[in-house]
Amino acid sequence: MPPAPPQQSGGAKRGMFSVLGPDVTVTGNVTATADLHIDGRVEGDVNCGSLAQGTDSQIYGSVTAEVARLAGSIEGTVRVKTLTVERSAKITGDVEYENITIENGGHIDGRLKHMSSVDVGPRAVAPAPATSPVAASSPFGTAANEEAA
């Protein structure tokens, strides 16, 4: 008799998790609504709510999650709101985050970008140089000129 299909209810995902063991290789994208623990190899993008990556795990593709604790190797873009990069982790690619912790020895070869700077954009910061004439008339600039005279 085949097993019954899992029940689909809104709150049933809480407390569930999926594991890709060390002997598993996935070729293709992985999407999980439950928490995901990867100890194997993924050749594709990973999209989940919470990700735990084992030290011997390899991901070749982008990673998108709300929360992630990375300990293996990743080659691709990482976009995580709350990110912990463990000492054994090696990330090759750009990292976008809201909160980040990098343990001593954690390795990131790419650009770090805070998510709020993605939303605000550099154009919102551009008017700041217009205030530089005020800095020229500051008491520090005047005092230096008066001492030189």
Chain-centre distance of CA 1, in angstroms?
A: 43
Q: How far apart (Å, rounded) are the C-alpha atoms in residues 129 and 106?
A: 36
Which helix or strand (DSSP H or E) is residue 5 part of? Answer: none
Convert 29-65 to b/e letters by CB count within 10 Å (16 or more is b): ebebeebbbbbbbbebbbbbebbbbbeebbbebbbbb
What average pLDDT does range 48-68 have in this prediction?
Answer: 97
Chain-centre distance of CA 35, in angstroms?
A: 16
Per residue in 11-48, pLDDT (tens digit) is: 445 568 899 999 999 999 999 988 999 999 999 999 99
* Of residues 53 and 149, more confidently modeled: 53
Contact 77, 94 (CB under 8 A): yes
Q: How far apart (Å, rounded) are the C-alpha atoms in residues 113 and 119?
A: 11
Chain-centre distance of CA 140, in angstroms?
A: 42
User: pLDDT at position 17, please?
Assistant: 87
CB within 8 Å of 75: residues ≥ 6 apart: 59, 60, 61, 92, 93
What average pLDDT does range 53-66 have in this prediction?
Answer: 97
* Of residues 112 and 4, more confidently modeled: 112
Q: How far apart (Å, rounded) are the C-alpha atoms in residues 19 and 126?
A: 46
Per residue in 99-147, pLDDT (tens digit) is: 999 999 999 999 999 987 544 333 444 444 454 444 444 444 544 444 4
CB within 8 Å of 39: residues ≥ 6 apart: 19, 20, 21, 22, 24, 54, 56, 57
The pTM is what? Answer: 0.69
